[in-house]
Structure 1
Amino acid sequence: MSQADALKNGPLETYNRRYSQRGLLNRYADGRRQYFVYRQMTMAGLSALIGLLTFPLVGLLVFLVAFFGDMLDTVYLARATPIGENGRFRQVQVISGITAAIQALSLAFLAWSPSVFMHSADHLHQAHATPLFTVGILIGAAINATVILPYNVPAGITRLAVYGLTPLVAITLESIIETGGGMDEVQLFQIAGLGVLYFSVFFFVSFIVGRYNRSRKNTLAMALQHKQLAQINAKLQAQQLQSQRLALVAENANDSVFLMDEKGRISWVNEAFTRITGYRYDEAIGKMPGALLNGDDTDMAVVRALEKGRATGKPFRLEICNRRKDGQLLWLETNQVPMLRDDGTVETIIAVERDVTAAKQYEQQLKDARIAAEEGARVKSEFLATMSHEIRTPMNGVIGMAQMLERTQLDEEQKLYADTILGSARTLLSLINDVLDLSKMDAGEVILSEVDFDLPACFQQTLQLFEPQAQEKGITLDLNIAPDVPRIINGDDRRLRQVLLNLVGNAVKFTDTGGVGVAVTTSRVGDRLRLRFSVTDTGIGIAKEKQDQIFERFSQADAAITRRFGGTGLGLTISRLLCEAMGGEIDVTSDPGKGSCFSVHLRMQPATGANLAEVAASAQQAGRSLEGMRILVAEDNRINRLLVEKYLQDEPVTLEFAVDGAEALEKTPDFAPDVILMDMSMPVMNGLDATRNIREMDIRQPVIAALTANAFDSDREACLKAGMDDFLSKPINRDDLLAVLRKHCPAEGRSAAV
């Protein structure tokens, strides 16, 4: 039997089952059934005696009445018990009280019958003995009722009441019959004797009930004590079993386990301690762990933390660098738990140490790999920045001069050559921009500039760029903006244009018949706007199994597409990354030969009104004249200086050039420029240093606009931080250059004499 079963079937549970009201009633019923035959034998003997003293039929009648009353009580109890937890206890208790009354009345009839039947003329000489006979039987029955009273109180009280009232009723009836209601001296003495008898029975009942209660309390106390002892024993056995198991675990654990006394000396070690540290049991006992394991590489701050942790008497964990017996480096993760005495002092310290040398080495490898990766990313970033500058600088000259060439008088063949140069240069520039954008996104350097902007104008201006190409191919280019779309919203319009350019550019490129449609809708989600636009075309379409691949870098749906239409396969990758950066997503549905639909969902905000005045001012500045503006161009590349000169040769401005930052710094006080176009990368002094120095001069401060081939967002931030006011990336577009100059020119112009 398990400990749980022993507790479940222990003395307390047995006590509860036996001495509960249900348990007592069940025991009462068992006793009534068990002694039924003995009771009938007794009543049969008494009935036979009554029959011999009176008449045989009287004895038979008396027995039948007594038998019927006892059988009724016993049969009911046999059928109604045992009573379970859900049994009708109260009902059985009440009915058993009634059957007990019937049984008591039948026995009382047996006891009283001689007094009834011996008053005939034939038995007058025996009548004086009948009261003693009756009282004797009733006293015996009362004693039995007293003994079983605690088991069924209602039945016991009922029986005692019937047995006590029977002689009183008999004396009363006798007095009525003999004297007409009065009592003689004999009857009065009989009543007095009954009072003494009742008094004696009362004390007897009290004695029996008190003894029963004392016995019950003693039994309960013994049961509780036994249960407490059983629980203590079970706890001790469990602790002993746990100690045995812990000892087995400690001895066979893979981790080093050792015990130390209150002074920190080793008192026991397991086999893993020897395997990990190299020290045998006899070499470790009595030694301080630090004396065995500390080496030149051990951090003394960690050693002090160990000592402090042991002194506090609280569990602690830390890592420490040790040395094995053979001198090899050993990193240990130690968990130490002090065991305290009753007075709170340390008795034993349990130390569990795990060899984490491999993990530490792996951690160092990861750290080295991370440093190498960061260095690689830095080198990559520097390389891309350098390549961007070195490629954009000559590209600036190529594109700029090609644009200037287009403005001259050319014949058809010359115009074809100029268009070819410009188209190829722009294709190469687009490739450079895509690679740089992808590099910035991989490095997490995408910076969103959220401003209020005109949403319909953003889409209209972007689509206008593709109208010549669409007209040339004979396809339609439609824009459908829902009526409820707000005109001004807040977001990064530059990134939105970039996504739209990629999607519409692809749609126009891959569509030969039919057309391209752009649909724009918005919806509100709480206090934010959700912008949705779709670009639908009737082009070549995309196979279903290829649709997941088109957003991967350098990937197109078919290698033949690259040969036929060109492209790097980066446009959709960049669009997906930009959508994710703006808290949105992009997806595609397509059928080969029927066309494609790219859907974009972006999170925007309602217009804040913060820069609406700036937008209006920009519109006013677009028509301003540059007359009298003084411009200093700090540029080390001769071609770029020539290009700026050509761009502005028809404008009423005064130009001055500097070949490096130091020369720009020198010319600024005397020339007093309104605007300085400052290259970032120049010999002698770069543009950032030159800008900082100019900002420290006590002069009328000019507007300084960065004119650089460094196109990263970080470069833009560096320029603004140095004190520049605007940013132009190479290759420079003439329209962009004029827009920046008009943006910063005085409203009424500036005379050359200023």
Structure 2
Amino acid sequence: MFRFPLLSLLQLLLPTTAAIAALLTPLYFSERQALLKELRVEQESKLENINLMLANTFGDTVNDLKVLASLHLWHELVDSTAREQREDIDQEAQDTVEQWHHFKKYYDLLYVLDSRGRIRFQWRAMPQITPRSPLQATPPYWPLLRELAPDQVFVSPVDIIETESLRFPLPVVYVGVPLYHQSTRKGVLLLRYQVNHLFEALLGICNTQGGLCLLANNQGYWLLGEDIREQWGFHFPERRQFTVRQQYPLLWQQMQHQSRGSLFSADGLFVYQSFSPLKEDSVSAESAAHSSRLQSNIRWWLIGFVPNSSIELYLERLNRDFLLSFTALCLLAAVAVLLIARDRQRKRSLQKLLETSNARFRSVSEMAPVGIFTLDAQGQPTFLNQRLLQLLQVHSLEEAQQRWIERLHPEDRDRVLKAWATCQQQRVPFHEKFRIVHHDSSSHWINARIIPLQQSSATDSFVGTWEDISQMMEQQKLLETARQAAEEASRAKSEFLATMSHEIRTPMNAIIGLTGLLLDTPLNPQQQEFVNTIRLSGDALLAVINDILDFSKIESGKLELESYPFNLCTCVEEVLDLLASRAAEREVELAADIDAGVPCTVIGDMGRLRQVLVNLIGNAIKFTQKGNVTLYVKAMPTPMSQYEFMPSYYSYLFAIQDTGIGISPAGMNRLFKPFSQVDASTTRQYGGTGLGLVICQRLVERMGGQIWVESKKAGEPLTVGGTPPAAYESIPIPESGSVFYFTVRFLLNPKSAPEAVNDTCHLANRRVLIVDDNATNRQILALQTKKWNMHPLVADSGASALTLLQQQGVPDVAILDLQMPEMDGLALARQIRTAYGQLPLILLTSLGNTLTESEKTLFSSLISKPVKQSTLYNALNNLFCEKQKAVSSKPATAPSFEQLKTELPPLRILVAEDNKVNQMVALRILEKLGYRGDIAANGLEVLDAVQRQPYDVILMDMQMPEMDGITATREVTQLFQGLKKPRPRIIAMTANAMESDRQLCLDAGMDDYVSKPIHLEELVRALRQCQPLQTPTT
């Protein structure tokens, strides 16, 4: 271990310590003077701020009084003689001063004096009109006030007021101006101003900085002192010894010769300056004599005081800092002496280690399988191992230095040299892949790396490697070729599927369309059954083809989402309408629970959302033998929506719960794979392509969400599939069944009108009896009625309901399910009518259940399942108010479908729409209007269909694959112009509701326009303008 002699250490330390002391001593005294100067400047700045504040305040006070004196009211008041006139002017003056005092809180007394000094009007802070007969005594300072010239202002010295109501003396100043009218003195306006708030403001400025703030009058009496008991000596005889002259004689002596200055004394630091509240046109009087002598000026003394104890604290901190600095520098000097000695020894040791390391590095480099080299600061090689010489095909370092640039491939040379120049100039790592050319013209790929050394030596500044990667590059080229071939095969497969689907669907559309025509002809029952079977089988096959086409569009990247405003709650209810008949056929209860806080007006692709819902709810109905299928909808804002300037995005959570057969853990692994079912028995029993869930997964991901499932078979544990989030609220599964969850992200529509809010004023606090044997329906109905502030009573059977009525009394309304075991809704209704008279009853019926006219009279309203919240609310609200307040956007006076059927013309209709769920919606609406429509999935199929059979109307979607609606319209127009026949009327369907889009459709030759989602009223309006071109068929 290195040792340094003590004597040598002392020989270095003592001169260093003396030098440090000699350096710090003048710095210390300089810092001490700077500190004292800083204290003085700080006090001077504080006094300047206070002086400015006082000057502004007194200036504002004089201006306020001059403005008030300019009112003509005071001349009338001084000149008035009649009693009635004086009373009117008194009241006017009182009102004027009160209004003025509302803004000027620090004035508490005002006098109006006539030319003889008599008080003609007096106002105090408490409203008071002092009678003028007999005239009051003369106020203070009258001898001075009567001498005021027209432009002069009177300001009194500070005085104090003592009353029993005041806890402390109140300092005041009187300010007066003469009242002149046409060069004739009419009197004086005298105002009393409370200056205590001035002192508070002064102390406020002082408290923000160091030191004390003192204030004395011209005689040296304290107006603000160190102790409140020393103030106001001119007023209190027992305090007359407390003056600047008595307490600080040196300061007082200097103040008599200088209007501003500073003084260091044994007491501390004093900084002072005089302040005059009067301007050139102002006069005042001495406080002591109240004589009639006019005085041109008065003075206050502003004094900033830093006690000696405070100065000692500042200096003590400075002394401590310098002592610590001296000690630290001495210690650093000692450490530096040690480090210098150790560093010399360390450098000698490191030099020896470096020589050993370089020798070892060169030995290892010669055995490395890659080329290794070192370069100096100019980029010249200082070492190359044998492998690098072999790669360059040279024999010496000098030859490599001359030939290495020649070996670079001409196509790579400029790039490599430019990267090497950047590495040299900016000291950044070099990493390039390039080719070198050998003597035999063969090329080799090199992966070169060069790293600048952080601590370069005299000879080496860079170290690098050359690695021959020719074999790896060849393998990568083969892999890239294979990848491109695989992608091309995948695209070819998807395009083949799309082409085959189109080729199969074209004749299928012909089959379905012709069976529709055949059904319009006279057929016997057996023929009718055969044709219906052909049409249903064609529809089923077309659905399979549509699944394949959707999947192929997704896989080939051709699926595009639309973005347009729609009502999410309406979309959910329309899906329930679409699937209600299927649920009724399987005797499955279908219900929906939309959370009260879900925003409904959004912007997105309603068609794709509806497609996902139809697929998942349809699967739930298909795999449920008995029980329920329930849809839950919730929403939550995304994190960005908390900022006002960011768009309002919401994340919507949909959950579809069924009580079906459930999914096994083994089947869960195949659930979201293409062309796969849970097991083979499922395919045999329920059918399907196995693409539905895959399509749903892709669509949900495109809409910014994820999809997952929880399922349980009887007697087996719960399994989870898909891509669930890290945290979510799970829905319990009682025995068996599944819950499919998915989320999507939509933008709230900023231009939508505020959503209608249920007016629960007619439903609040009303009792409602809910009778349903299905627990899920009971729970949903109870939650919905609670949202409307109703009080639900729940029964699971007719007998329980009758018992509840006997125990709880008669409610305001009862909601009954039609289908219940033992006692159905009709039987229960008859017993309730017999026992409880005209209790309003609402019946919930499944699709297909019809009642006789006599049975309908038992109920106030009939509602079809699944129950919509808006429909239930309207039914309840209509019972308790004269005017309907509906939540639904549909008008209450809308005509029935039966009435519309008679009003609309008979038409053959072709629906051109690529989305299968939108196809279902359109066909369902047309079916309700009495029409049977045919389907075309793109413009090419439209051309095939119109040549195959006649149509009166084409409902044309704007955006379709293969051929869009605009192009198809032009082609259909040209086709019928060539045939010299009237073409079908074309009605555009598009999600874009802007005027420019409407004009685009009309310019393309379309006849009318309806926006998506399709509204019944708008579609009816468009169809009313159509006329059949052939023999009418509906």
Calculate the TM-score normalised by the size of structure 1: 0.53
Query: Residue 533 of structure 1: which of 654, 660, 676 is its match?
Result: 654
Judge conservation of contact 1:507–1:539 (CA < 8 Å) in 2: yes
Instruction: Deviation per CA, 1:136-166: give whole Å up to 9, x if none.
Output: xxxxxxxxxxxxxxxxxxxxxxxxxxxxxxx
Q: Which residue of 1 aligns with 2:446?
A: 332
Q: What residue in structure 1 maps to residue 224 of structure 2?
A: none
Question: Does the 8 A contact of 1:658 with 1:664 survive in 2?
Answer: no
- Name the counterpart of 1:645: 950
- Aligned-partner Cα distance in 1 for 2:632–2:337: 90
Asked if 1:595 corresponds to 2:737, the answer is: yes
Matched, 1:416 2:529: yes
- Label 1:300 to 1:665 Cα distance change in 2 as closer, same or farther (>3 A): farther
Q: CA deviation at 1:488?
A: 2.7
Cα distance change on mapping 1:236 and 1:646 into 2, 3 Å: same
Aligned to 1:588, the other structure's residue is in SS state: strand
Q: Which among 578, 590, 595 is matched to residue 477 of structure 1?
A: 590
Distance 1:346 1:662, change over 3 A: farther
Of 562, 570, 577 in structure 1, the residue corresponding to residue 691 of structure 2 is 570
Aligned residues of 1:629 and 1:745 also touching (Cα < 8 A): no
- Native 8 Å contact 2:374 2:460 kept in 1: no
- The count of aligned residue pairs is 492
Choose between structure 1 and 2: higher strand proportion: 2
Q: In structure 1, what is the equivalent of residue 1003 of structure 2?
A: 701
Letter in 2 for 1:253: A
Gap runs ≥5 in structure 2:
15-332, 642-648, 715-735, 756-887, 913-938, 955-966, 989-998, 1030-1034
Whether the 8 Å CA contact 1:587–1:598 is kept in 2: the answer is: yes
Q: Aligned residue for 1:390?
A: 503
Shift of the alpha carbon at 1:256? Answer: 1.0
The answer to whether the 8 Å contact 1:317/1:335 transfers is: yes
- Which shifted more, 567-576 or 311-320? 311-320
Q: What does 1:459-538 correspond to in 2, within 5 Å?
A: 459-526=572-639, 527=641, 528-538=649-659
Q: d(CA) in 2 for partners of 1:452 and 1:581? A: 18
> Separation in 2 of the partners of 1:572 and 1:288?
65
1:122-271 matched pairs, under 5 angstroms: 226-258=341-373, 268-271=383-386
Inter-partner Cα distance in structure 2 for 1:518 and 1:548: 24
Evaluate the alpha carbon distance shift between residue 673 and residue 702 of structure 1 in structure 2; reply closer, same or farther with a 3 A threshold.
farther
Aligned residue for 1:426?
539
**Higher Cα Rg, which structure:** 1
Q: CA RMSD in A?
A: 5.5
Q: 1:397 to 1:674 in 2, by over 3 A?
A: closer
Q: Shift in Å at residue 585 of structure 1?
A: 2.5
1:672-697 deviation line (CA, Å, top 9, x unaligned): 9796699xxxxxxxxxxxxxxxx99x
**Counterpart for residue 561 of structure 1:** 682
Q: Does structure 1 conserve the Cα–Cα contact (< 8 Å) formed by 2:563 and 2:604?
A: yes
Report the secondary structure of 1:288's partner residue: helix
- Counterpart CA distance in 2 for 1:603 and 1:360 is 44
CA gap of 1:348–1:427, structure 2 versus 1, over 3 A, is same
Q: 2:969 & 2:571 partners in 1: Cα distance?
A: 38
Distance 1:367 1:272 in 2: 30
Q: Kindly indicate whether residue 443 of structure 2 is the aligned counterpart of residue 322 of structure 1.
A: no
Matched residue type, 2:945: N
Change (3 A) 1:362 1:546: same
**Structure 1: which 5+ residue stretches go unaligned?**
1-5, 21-217, 650-656, 679-694, 706-723, 729-734
Task: Give the whole-Å Cα distance in 2 for the aligned partners of 1:628 and 1:435.
Answer: 32
Match of 1:581 among 698, 702, 715: 702
Q: CA deviation at 1:578?
A: 2.0
Give the corresponding residue for 1:154.
Answer: none
Query: Taking CA–CA contacts closer than 8 Å with sequence separation of 6 or more, which of the two structures ends up with the larger relative contact order?
Result: 1
Q: CA deviation at 1:561?
A: 0.9
SS at match of 2:635: strand
Does residue 663 of structure 2 align to residue 358 of structure 1? no
Query: Do 2:373 and 2:382's aligned partners in 1 also have CA atoms closer than 8 Å?
Result: yes
User: Which of 425, 429, 436 in structure 1 is aligned with 2:549?
Assistant: 436
CA contact (8 A) 1:635 1:641 kept: no
Distance change in 2, residues 1:314/1:235 (3 Å): same
Q: Does 1:609 align with 2:734?
A: no
Amino acid at match of 1:589: E
The amino acid across from 1:482 in the alignment is D
Letter in 2 for 1:603: R
- Aligned partners of 1:235 and 1:431: how far apart in 2? 80
Out of 571, 577, 596, which is 1:458 matched to? 571
Q: Which position in structure 1 is the counterpart of 2:219?
A: none
C-alpha displacement of 1:543: 2.0
What residue identity is the alignment partner of 1:559? Answer: A
CA contact (8 A) 2:704 2:745 kept: yes
Q: State the AA in 1 paired with 2:443.
A: L
Q: Tell me if the contact between 2:617 and 2:656 (Cα under 8 Å) persists in the aligned partners.
A: yes
Aligned to 1:449: 562
Distance 1:630 1:514 in 2: 38
> Which whole-Å CA distance do the structure 2 matches of 1:313 and 1:337 have between them?
12
- Secondary structure (helix, strand or coil) at the match of 1:645 reads coil
Q: Whole-Å Cα distance in 2 between the matches of residues 366 and 740 of structure 1?
A: 59
Q: Which moved more, 1:276-285 or 1:408-417?
A: 276-285
- 1:4-53 Cα offsets, whole Å, 9 max, x none, are xx35x55589959x999xxxxxxxxxxxxxxxxxxxxxxxxxxxxxxxxx
Aligned counterpart, 2:194:
none
For residues 394 and 608 of structure 1, do their structure 2 counterparts lie closer, same or farther at Cα, with a shift above 3 Å needed?
A: farther
Judged with a 3 Å threshold, the aligned counterparts in structure 2 of structure 1 residues 372 and 452 are, in CA distance, closer, same or farther, namely same
Q: Check conservation: 1:404, 1:646, Cα contact below 8 A.
A: no
Question: Is the 8 Å Cα contact of residues 568 and 602 (structure 2) preserved in structure 1?
Answer: yes
Task: Report the 3-state secondary structure (helix = DSSP H, G, I; strand = E; otherwise coil) of the residue aligned with 1:229.
Answer: helix
Query: How far apart are residue 490 of structure 1 and its match?
Result: 3.1
d(CA) in 2 for partners of 1:531 and 1:407?
Answer: 45
What is the alpha-carbon distance in structure 2 between the residues aligned to residue 219 and residue 638 of structure 1? 99
Compared CA separation, residues 550 and 746, structure 1 to 2 (3 A): closer
Structure 2 counterpart of 1:273: 388
Shift of 1:579: 2.0
Q: Post-superposition shift, 1:508?
A: 1.6
Q: What is the distance in 2 between the residues matched to 1:349 and 1:438? A: 57
User: Separation in 2 of the partners of 1:338 and 1:486?
Assistant: 60
Aligned 8 A contact 2:519 2:528 in 1: yes
Cα deviation for residue 222 of structure 1 reads 8.7
Percent identity over the alignment is 27
Q: Distance in 2 between matches of 1:612 and 1:674?
A: 40
The aligned amino acid for 1:701 is D
8 A Cα contact 1:265 1:287, kept in partner: no
What SS does structure 1 have at the residue aligned with 2:678?
A: coil
Partner in structure 2 of residue 709 of structure 1: none
Where 1:332 maps in the other structure, the secondary structure is strand
Report what 2:664 is aligned to. Answer: 543
